[in-house]
Structure 1
Amino acid sequence: MSVDTAALTRALKGDSKQQGNWGEVVLSRVLSESGLREGHEYSTQLSLNNAEGKRYQPDVVVHLPQDKDIIIDAKVSLTAYERYFNGEDAAVREQALRDHVASVRGHIRELGRKDYQQLQGVRTLDYVLMFVAVEPAFLVAVEAEPGLVKYALDHNILLVSPTNLLVALRTIENLWRVERQNQNARKIAESAGKIYEKLRLFTEDMEAMGQSLQRADDNYQRAMKKLSSGRGNLIRQAEAFRELGVEVTKPLPEHLREAASEDGEQVQLGQRA
């Protein structure tokens, strides 16, 4: 905490560049605590052109489901706020507060002129989030000049502090979680449909195979009937030649000869008696 406090103190008393860097650090911390992932649900330091070809580099582009984006730009107004915060004279504090409000208003005008909504390569909503990194500085400005909120809205800007930005980003993270669940549900449904179709084709193939096997068995039974089971079958006739004295090297299998006998129809076809 002491390190953070020292850094904030240097930023409060530093130049605009130091204050801007401090604002980006705070914004980065808020993003890291939101659950969103850089390179996935948000991108930083993108270089984008407007319709005239002028290049801009918004601090953060947060991606939403349904191919929408929100641009966040950190604007730090700390110099006048530091005078207000540390001032001991009431008149000095009052003037510093007016300067602080004027500084915030100037940042709103500056950001509004950039017209980030028209940048090419982003599908942004109709407004930009202007991030004020120091919560008390944000609150004291809005409290002193409530019209700042409407003034910002008139420039298509929403003023946000670390607290309400974190709430908004966690809401977006929840939307992404729901979107991923919906995507998974769609993938499951697609996979289930493919499995069902494969099962249908498999059952058709099995039925066709069964029919083919049945036909093969029918053909087998007819062939065996001609060979050994029907009256006048080939084996019975061949055995008659052997009984008449025709010499053979080796007799036919005994179970076929038995099946081919006059009462062979009682024997299981193709099996030994």
Structure 2
Amino acid sequence: SDSFLKLAQESLNKHHTQSEGELKQRQQAIDALLQPIRSTLEKSDKQLREIEKERKEQYGALTHHLESITLTQQQLQHETRNLVQALRRPEVRGQWGELTLKRLAELAGMVEHADFIEQEQVNSETGTLRPDMVIHLPDQRAIIVDAKTPLDAYINATEADSDEKRNSELERHTRNVRKRVKELAAKSYWSQFDESPDFVVLFIPGDQFLSSALERDHRLLEDALQEKVILATPTSLVALLRAVAFGWKQQEVARNAETIREVGVQLYERLATFTTHLNKVGKSLDGGIEAFNKAVGSLDRNVLPSARRFTEMGIHPKKEIVEPSSIEKLARTPKNLESPKET
């Protein structure tokens, strides 16, 4: 039995050793199979961590951006409320319209007190008139612009809590614009300014203010023209102002061209006078040369022969007489210029 147990033990050890070897081989084979998967999982885990980190950073930036937008929106709402409240006051609306009008004129390249004048006072039979802007045109002409447009009804419409009230306020806004047209036409600015054409410009400081009125009153624009009132928004007025500025530039070009022509005529006339004087100088030089040559000839014929007789008689002066030479050349006369009459 001991032999049997020993044999069994040896057999068991042998199988155990074989099993361990096979297990290690299988373990190695499994490790070899799992290694790519393990590497892939590690890479995926690293990428997930990076993505999560980036997501948190972007989320933080987005949160900060949203907070900034919210704060800006709140500030904008606050400023809008302040602006709306301010525009309800007629004097503020007037100042806003006048300021917008002035900025447009400056953007069009015009200069205050040179190309346009604000609040110019004019006395008329009906009282004192003070248009918001007088735009000077070439040839001593001018365009009168008024910027006092009622906007309270339109502002009420933007804050209306129902369509019925909104439409009612927009209708009132339309009536206010038409009323302002009639008031402006009654002032007859063109009759108070001799240099003004037979119309006046009513400046409305926002395209939406005019378009809203035209949607509800299709004859408003035509009727205003019949009243000699032109309705203008920033878009249309800046085009008009640029045309005026271009007209001033063209007049300046024409004025410069006329100045150049006058300077050219003046220069030519002065050059003609100079050439006349130059010809006189040349003739005087010719006369002087002729007289000089005659004097030299007389000296040679009548004076020097007698003077030489002194030396023949034994007189030895310290200096000898140098015989002057006659001048053969005459003064040149310009060949390419005719001698004009003296002015």
Following superposition, the deviation at residue 100 of structure 1 comes to 0.8
Q: Secondary structure at the match of 2:139?
A: coil
1:27-63 Cα offsets, whole Å, 9 max, x none, are 121112111000101111111122x272111110000
Q: Secondary structure at the match of 1:123?
A: coil
Q: Secondary structure at the match of 1:158?
A: strand
Would the alpha carbon gap of residues 57 and 207 (structure 1) be closer, same or farther in structure 2, given more than 3 Å must change? same
Equivalent residue, structure 2, for 1:47 = 121
Equivalent residue, structure 1, for 2:53 = none
Equivalent residue, structure 1, for 2:255 = 183
Of the three residues 95, 109, 114, the one matched with 1:35 is 109
Which range is displaced more, 194-203 or 2-11? Answer: 2-11
CA distance in 1, matches of 2:79, 2:290: 90
CA distance in 2, matches of 1:127, 1:151: 13
- Superposition RMSD in Å: 2.3
Contact kept? 1:242, 1:248, Cα under 8 Å: yes
Q: How does 1:101-250 map to 2 (within 5 A)?
A: 101-120=174-193, 122-228=194-300, 232-244=301-313, 250=318
Provide structure 2 residue ranges, at least 5 long, that are not aligned to the other structure. 1-74, 328-343
Contact kept? 1:8, 1:22, Cα under 8 Å: no
TM-score (norm 1): 0.85
Would the alpha carbon gap of residues 7 and 152 (structure 1) be closer, same or farther in structure 2, given more than 3 Å must change? farther
Is 1:67 paired with 2:140? Answer: yes
Following superposition, the deviation at residue 223 of structure 1 comes to 0.7
CA distance in 2, matches of 1:11, 1:161: 21
CA distance in 2, matches of 1:6, 1:204: 82
1:77-112 Cα offsets, whole Å, 9 max, x none, are 211111223324222222212111100011111111
Would the alpha carbon gap of residues 96 and 6 (structure 1) be closer, same or farther in structure 2, given more than 3 Å must change? closer
CA distance in 2, matches of 1:182, 1:70: 22
Q: Secondary structure at the match of 1:83?
A: helix
Equivalent residue, structure 2, for 1:10 = 85
Q: Secondary structure at the match of 1:233?
A: helix
Contact kept? 1:71, 1:124, Cα under 8 Å: yes
Tell me the amino acid that sits aligned with residue 121 of structure 2. S
% identical equivalent positions: 29
Equivalent residue, structure 1, for 2:6 = none
Following superposition, the deviation at residue 124 of structure 1 comes to 0.8
1:111-139 Cα offsets, whole Å, 9 max, x none, are 1111111215x511111110011221111
Following superposition, the deviation at residue 241 of structure 1 comes to 4.2
Of the three residues 131, 135, 154, the one matched with 1:58 is 131
CA distance in 1, matches of 2:94, 2:216: 23
Following superposition, the deviation at residue 9 of structure 1 comes to 2.2
Tell me the amino acid that sits aligned with residue 87 of structure 1. A
CA distance in 2, matches of 1:224, 1:250: 23
CA distance in 2, matches of 1:250, 1:143: 119
Would the alpha carbon gap of residues 53 and 85 (structure 1) be closer, same or farther in structure 2, given more than 3 Å must change? closer
CA distance in 2, matches of 1:208, 1:101: 83
Would the alpha carbon gap of residues 24 and 4 (structure 1) be closer, same or farther in structure 2, given more than 3 Å must change? farther
The structure that is helix-richer by fraction is 2
1:214-273 Cα offsets, whole Å, 9 max, x none, are 111111011111012xxx33111222244245x5754542x31xx7xxxxxxxx437xxx
Tell me the amino acid that sits aligned with residue 168 of structure 2. Q
TM-score (norm 2): 0.68
Q: Secondary structure at the match of 2:114?
A: coil
Would the alpha carbon gap of residues 129 and 224 (structure 1) be closer, same or farther in structure 2, given more than 3 Å must change? same
Following superposition, the deviation at residue 183 of structure 1 comes to 0.8
Which range is displaced more, 213-222 or 150-159? Answer: 150-159
Which range is displaced more, 159-168 or 85-94? Answer: 85-94
User: Which one has the largest radius of gyration?
Assistant: 2
Tell me the amino acid that sits aligned with residue 113 of structure 1. A
Equivalent residue, structure 1, for 2:10 = none
Contact kept? 2:292, 2:326, Cα under 8 Å: no
Following superposition, the deviation at residue 209 of structure 1 comes to 0.6
Would the alpha carbon gap of residues 102 and 176 (structure 1) be closer, same or farther in structure 2, given more than 3 Å must change? same
